[in-house]
């Protein structure tokens, strides 16, 4: 269901609250309407932008009992991203945990002690607690942005790939809603691209 960040964003983008949109769609949308029909109705009849018509149709579809991509019963809303980079496992692990690497995915920190139970918070307010440490392979932790009501769960893997390369994989679950899933997918894609670009820049 829609979280606080989505509700704030939809109000800023459309001038109306999520509750207003849900009530209005409830008066119009039939139980057999497809996602496309709901979206097109919002665009054509309500003059909503294509982007926000898509989001409103997705969220209203959940109210109708439909399950969007990325939602599971046990892990809630989740996302997985990965990228193979031209560095060894040790190099990738070291980069991710260096001040430069931490700045990309947690924020400004001098270091991240790899101890189960260690709580962290960056200067930017991203916080969490480490729950699993497998050196040179896996980290599991809670991970929360300062504006979030609840933390997510994050797993970070470095996995040996062909030709001496390494696949960096991130799996995040218990996100607020599918809107935040989309935001975090773009965030992690940008993180992994930045890691790849920094490695190529020092060649």
Tens of pLDDT along 39-85?
999 999 999 999 999 999 999 999 999 988 888 877 789 999 999 99
Domain count, the chain: 2
Residue ranges making up the domain that contains 84: 71-201
Task: Verify that 139 and 57 share a domain, yes or no.
Answer: no
Q: Are residues 155 and 194 in the same domain?
A: yes
Place of tokens 């690497």: 101
C-alpha 33/C-alpha 64 separation (Å) is 10
DSSP string for 129-176: EEEEEETTTEEEEEEB-TT-SS-EEEEEEEEE-GGG-EEEEEEEEEES
Task: Say whether both 139 and 183 belong to one domain.
Answer: yes
Residue closest to 78 by CA, chosen among 189, 156, 153: 153
Q: Which of 45, 63, 81 is the last residue of a domain?
A: 63
Specify the CATH number for the domain of residue 171.
3.30.530.20
58 with 90, same domain: the answer is no
Q: 123 and 177 share a domain? A: yes
For residues 12 and 77, membership in a common domain is answered with no
Claim to verify: residue 176 and residue 99 sit in the same structural domain: yes
Residues of the chain with pLDDT below 70 are: 199-203
Residue 109 has phi, psi (to 5 degrees) of -150, 145
Domain termination residue (choose one: 33, 63, 93): 63
Residues 57 and 81 in one domain: no
Domain boundary among 31, 63, 95: 63
Please check whether residues 197 and 124 belong to one and the same domain.
yes
> Is residue 90 located within the same domain as residue 59?
no
Token look-up 């990325």 returns 70
Determine the pLDDT at residue 200. Answer: 60
């Amino acid at each position: 269901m829609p979280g606080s960040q989505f509700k704030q964003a939809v109000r800023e983008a459309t001038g109306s609250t999520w509750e207003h949109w849900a009530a209005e769609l409830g008066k119009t949308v039939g139980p057999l309407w497809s996602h496309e029909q709901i979206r097109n109705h919002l665009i054509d009849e309500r003059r909503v932008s294509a982007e926000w018509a898509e989001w409103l149709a997705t969220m209203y579809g959940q109210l109708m009992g439909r399950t969007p991509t990325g939602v599971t019963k046990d892990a809630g809303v989740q996302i997985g991203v990965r990228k193979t980079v031209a560095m060894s496992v040790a190099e990738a692990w070291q980069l991710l945990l260096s001040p430069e690497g931490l700045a990309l995915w947690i924020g400004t920190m001098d270091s991240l002690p790899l101890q189960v139970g260690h709580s962290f918070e960056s200067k930017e307010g991203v916080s969490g607690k480490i729950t699993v440490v497998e050196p040179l392979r896996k980290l599991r932790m809670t991970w929360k942005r300062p504006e979030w009501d609840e933390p997510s769960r994050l797993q970070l893997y470095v996995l040996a790939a062909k030709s001496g390369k390494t696949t960096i994989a991130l799996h995040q679950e218990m996100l607020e809603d599918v809107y935040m899933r989309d935001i975090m997918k773009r965030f992690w894609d940008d993180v992994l691209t930045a890691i790849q670009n920094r490695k190529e820049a020092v060649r």
